[in-house]
Structure 1
């Protein structure tokens, strides 16, 4: 069922035209589809694994929970077109950031809510976002981890763009865009 994951994300961009953002928000199929639906051709996406200890992890290994990798989406975008803070805002609204190591029926550290920062500016923005957005979730504490990027391992080819290739495939029911008003209703935000 596919080969071992290999590679490390998008090719280098020596001209500095693009930025990368990496998010864990549960099953990477639904995360990828949500970001594609929101941003369309303004972004490029890859799904993979980050934050773990194994070299070249496979999907099967990551699913055991023993590698500590998260299923993640890497987004290639132009900061001049989509500011990082806008990606962060959408990230919090497209999944449940208050459930530790879980999205819907998917449980385990591989499904954690996580922001993998690529530089100090992203780290600062991610830390600030939690402080600024916590009030929207009321007494439900944001459990999103903020972790250094480290190595991004591409997921196997069959995972890339999975829900576009398999439109009737499993999609986590927590992956959809919510308004902040709806989040206030659901979580008792202030």
Structure 2
């Protein structure tokens, strides 16, 4: 039996299924659009190596599942960034006043996938950057959209991409994704790790997160695995 995050999440899922049918996805879940590639990106590394990237874009279950299906990504972790070690616990983060955002740490091989491509995936299928302190059915500062940059190069690439998307008027509403330095990443409790892949029949996953992976496969077939 899967562990539900909150009664409100299960209530949302139950209502959605009763209204839409168990095999029907809400229109918003399949409305993702492939965005243009970043004009500024890091060159592909000549040799295999490892770099990290950290993103927050709502519930970390779905964001982790998306990046776990990207070629060149070696490992992902669900966790917390933005607050202190003392409050990096699910029960406290869920209150929305710790400064933490539910985040995903991505270990990737820059010879196979660039940081810019990860950003393109993030904005195309993993998060809605126009939603302030919420994503879909989940509300609170812990669900805000954030890019935690781990180096000056990541900061430049992410800042340029945010400016590019804004100038191109990709979204009808302003982009509210934050760009802040990564100070620390704290792995979440073990039951959160790879939750979506372990619980594909969870109604919350089926309605909110599975469509993100489907969109990844559809929009980025060369990156999907």
Q: TM-score if structure 2 supplies the norm length?
A: 0.68
2:182 aligned residue:
149
Q: In 1, distance between residues paired with 2:94 and 2:196?
A: 19
Q: How does 1:64-103 map to 2 (within 5 A)?
A: 64-94=95-125, 95-103=127-135
Work out the number of aligned pairs and report it. 165
2:19 aligned residue:
none
Q: Give how far 1:40 is off.
A: 5.0
Aligned partner (choices 144, 154, 160) of residue 193 of structure 2: 160
2:208 aligned counterpart, secondary structure = coil
1:111-160 C-alpha deviation (Å, 9 max, x unpaired): 01100000100011111110111224343111100011111101000000
Q: 1:65 to 1:19 in 2, by over 3 A?
A: same
For structure 2, the 5+ residue unaligned runs are 4-47, 220-225
Q: How does 1:162-177 map to 2 (within 5 A)?
A: 162-169=195-202, 170-171=204-205, 173=208, 176=212, 177=215
Structure 1 runs (4+) greater than 6 angstroms displaced = none
Q: How does 1:41-52 map to 2 (within 5 A)?
A: 42-52=73-83
Q: 1:29 to 1:79 in 2, by over 3 A?
A: same
Q: How big is the alpha-carbon RMSD for the aligned residues of Structure 1 and Structure 2? A: 2.2
Structure with greater helix percent: 2
Q: TM-score if structure 1 supplies the norm length?
A: 0.79
1:96 aligned counterpart, secondary structure = coil
- Asked if structure 2 preserves the Cα contact closer than 8 Å seen for 1:54 and 1:67, the reply is no
Q: Give how far 1:32 is off.
A: 0.8
2:159 aligned counterpart, secondary structure = helix
